[in-house]
Amino acid sequence: MTGSPPSKASLLLASCVGTSIEWYDYYIFGSASALVFGSLFFPSFSPVAGTLAAFGTFAVGFIARPLGAAVIGHFGDRIGRKAMLVLTLMMAGLSTFLIGVLPTYAAIGVAAPILLVIMRLLQGFGVGGEWGGAVLVATEHATPRQRAVYGSFAQFGVPIGVLTSNLVFLIASQLPDASFKAWGWRIPFLLSAVLLGVGMLVRRKLNESPEFRRVKETNKVSRLPFGTLLREQPVTLLLASLAAIAPPAVGYTVMVYMLNYGTKVAGFSRTTLLTVLLLSALVWIAGIYFAAVWADRWGSKRVYTVGAITAVAWAFPIFLLVNTGSLTAAVVAYFVAAVVQAIMAGAQGALFTELFHTRLRFSGASVAYQLGGLIGGAVGPLVLTALFGAYHSSTPLALYLAAICAVSLVAVVLVRPLPEYEKAVAEREGAPLASGRETS
């Protein structure tokens, strides 16, 4: 029984609320990694080694994300989108709450970082399947001319997660340093229990997407979706994964690495950078919507390509501006970076929907998105920290960021949406469609 069709508002709210909560969970870990985890869970290391260890623990979640994407994507393509969205929310929310009650190294020794890594793995596994399901449950309800806008509501979860996580950390960071390190850092993690309840209440009312229902009704459900994906669309999966690198590469440079770099190298206070990051998230949210409107009008691939170009172009200015130590320059650096991410994010949900066949789409979109996140997000803060430790200059950092964003630019230029979506864009523009491609 499918129930009555969901209203547009309830559908988009369910897509947005869940991803917002999950990315809140994810980003508070990133903030804690930059600010306190090094001293609390790796106190016997040098300051640089402790920071690297904390960022390494942060990266563990990214390693779990592609695995979660493959496993949850498998069942999302076999059982349905709705059930997996409830599961991913539960996994990420509970693991985040448990981090908030975790003893530190001073209390239980080496067991503390081990437990932290385990919780991070569970958190990453849940987040791994979240984005794909949230995007698809929205885009698969949409008409072709609204696909990007519908998909953008799942994308709002990323900046909303940044906004809420940094707002909570900003408030907690007003405590004296001793209190913040003793117990204040736990508050953002414990609040996830309240957010989890809200998310479950909203998602419980979701219906299965009509496109997936048609796949089930016509008995086209794949027995092994990921294996079929590797056999039928391996090049698309590879190019989509590479195209997905740039948004997290820019995002985690700003949200995670810059918290450490900006305070220790450029001389900003922790509170100042958290405030600038919080305000830039508002620009990010607005930019996503406008980019999605443009993607529905001009094509998701075209808009995403423009975003990738800006990502390459902004790699050097962002470091040069932060290096000045000027608040105004830092605001410009963060706000433009928010626009860069927004352009790609606004088009990404529709683009990834248009790349993969419906019966393989949960697996394809999820795995590609999370592999890009692994390369762009997990590796980024580690490489940037190591590069600065070796060269004590921002130039190698900017070169690295520009290079990996250039990989995404090349990939998105080469990737091709499925013919039916290319045709829809061509018809809107009155352009001829290239022939000779498979339509199955």
What is the domain-level CATH number for residue 251?
1.20.1250.20
More confident of the two residues 240 and 265: 240
Token readout for 197 is 């309840």
77 domain-assigned: yes
340 domain-assigned: yes
CA-CA distance, 157 to 112, in Å (whole number)?
A: 30
In a 10 Å sphere around its CB, with 0-12 CB exposed, 13-18 middle and 19+ buried, how is residue 90 labelled?
A: middle
What φ, ψ does residue 141 adopt, rounded to 5°? -95, -10
pLDDT digits (tens, 9 = 90+) for 186-239: 998 998 888 888 888 877 777 777 888 888 888 888 889 999 999 999 999 999
Residues 165 and 31: beta-carbon distance below 8 Å? yes
Q: Over the chain, what is the mean pLDDT?
A: 85
pTM of the prediction?
Answer: 0.84
1 domain-assigned: no
Instruction: Check whether 42 has a pLDDT greater than 80.
Output: no
Token readout for 306 is 């423009």
440 domain-assigned: no
Average pLDDT (410-432) is 73
Average pLDDT (84-95) is 86
439 domain-assigned: no
Contacts of 260 (CB under 8 A, 6+ apart): 34, 51, 381, 385
Contacts of 243 (CB under 8 A, 6+ apart): 304, 308, 351, 368, 372, 408, 411, 412, 415
2 domain-assigned: no
Question: Among 3-7, 194-198, 202-206, 309-313, which stretch is predicted with the lowest mean pLDDT?
Answer: 3-7
Beta carbons within 10 angstroms of residue 423's beta carbon = 15
State which residues form the domain around 353. 8-429
More confident of the two residues 288 and 202: 288
Count of structural domains, the chain: 1
434 domain-assigned: no
pLDDT at 163: 83
214 domain-assigned: yes
Q: Which helix (H) or strand (E) holds 168?
A: helix 157-172
The separation between the first and the last C-alpha atoms of the chain, rounded to the nearest angstrom, is 29
pLDDT digits (tens, 9 = 90+) for 130-146: 888 888 888 888 887 88
Average pLDDT (255-267) is 85
CA distances from 402 to 306, 318, 405 (A): 15, 11, 5
pLDDT at 435: 41
Average pLDDT (353-369) is 93
